Amino acid sequence: MDDLNGNHSKMFLNANVTISSEKDQDEEALVDSTLVPLVGKRLIYMYENGWEYEVYYKNKSSIDYKVLKGMVAGRCVNNQIIHMRRVSAMSEMFMVNWTEPTGTCVCQVVDLDRRSMQSVIFFPHWVVDNPSKTVLFQNDHLPIIATYRDVGPTYPIRVVNESGFIHTILNSVLDNERHMS
């Protein structure tokens, strides 16, 4: 069966599942290799507003991070699920996006060549009103974080659009569980 783009794939109509072809797996491997310059790196960066973060790009689909300075300084998160892609084959620039259990959404553009970080962070209103509720090791408190998020309020959302400088770049191995806790 051909999909809308003319690609051949087998589909289970009742389960609505697509089985990947060898071509898709080869494309997946190519995407993975393009992420090599970022995965396994630990970056420490500061935004122009003074907020400072440490982030470890653990693998192609998760990060660990700590907030060192700013509205939620002291917050620590392990195994945050992310979406990552390389922006340009000509540079070491990456787009990384995620939605946190708090309801906060983050979009980063990481430019290793220029050591710059561009981010847009969408904070739900409850986080802006009570940031201290998120200043903890999130992984140990997911049920209470989900309760806070569900109670809200979500709106109005505070949008923080910041530029920053990556002042530290450290190489590490993939999937190191000892980087942050």
Supply the mean pLDDT for the chain. 83
Q: At 89, which amino acid appears? A: A
Residues 29 and 15: their CA atoms lie apart, in Å, by 26
CA neighbours within 13 Å on the CB side: how many for 61? 3
Chain centroid to CA 174: 16
Active site residues: 53, 100
E-strand ranges in 40-157 read 41-47, 52-59, 62-69, 76-81, 83-86, 93-99, 105-111, 116-123
Contact 97, 82 (CB under 8 A): yes
Contact 95, 108 (CB under 8 A): yes
Task: Map out the domains of the chain as residue ranges.
Answer: 1-34, 39-171
Surface-to-core class of residue 107, CB atoms within 10 Å of its CB (0-12 exposed, 13-18 middle, 19+ buried): middle
Tell me 141's DSSP state.
G
Instruction: Return the pLDDT at 32.
Output: 65
pTM recorded for the entire structure: 0.78
Please name the fold of domain 39-171: Lipocalin (2.40.128)
Q: What is the pLDDT of residues 117-126, one digit of tens each?
A: 999 999 999 9
Q: What is the pLDDT of residues 22-63, one digit of tens each?
A: 444 444 444 467 778 889 999 999 999 999 999 999 999 999
Q: Of 57, 49, 75, nearest to 169 (Cα)?
A: 57
For the chain, residues with pLDDT lower than 50 are 1-31
